Amino acid sequence: MLIEEIVKQAAQAAQKMSPEEKAKVRQQLERCWPEPCRRITGQFRAHFESREAAEAFASHPANTAYHGDIAHLCLKCGAWHLSRPEWLVPSWMRDMTDQGWN
């Protein structure tokens, strides 16, 4: 079965559900697919389904805030995020580099 057919059948089934049934299904889906990570402000971080999509977004001329960022797979939410290289280095390693241990 193609994904389009599955989505169509799910939409038809959802139209017949009560609000309580829809809420229960939503809760079950959220357990399977956690929401993407949020920033400290509460806004969602930029998230992508693949490394290629994240890198394409970061390299787009309009997205200057993400130029130089590295795509990495988040172990918390399972999505790809973009982060500055220095954010991905453990603090103990940064401390060693700052003290001349390189």
Burial 84-100 (b: 16+ CB within 10 A, else e): eeeeeeeeeeeeeeeee
CA dihedral sign, ordered 84, 85, 86, 90 = positive
How far apart are alpha carbons 63 and 87 in whole angstroms? 19
Residues 6+ apart with CB under 8 A from 76: 34, 37
- Average pLDDT of the residues in 50-65: 92
pLDDT of residue 89: 81
pTM, whole model, 2 decimals? Answer: 0.56
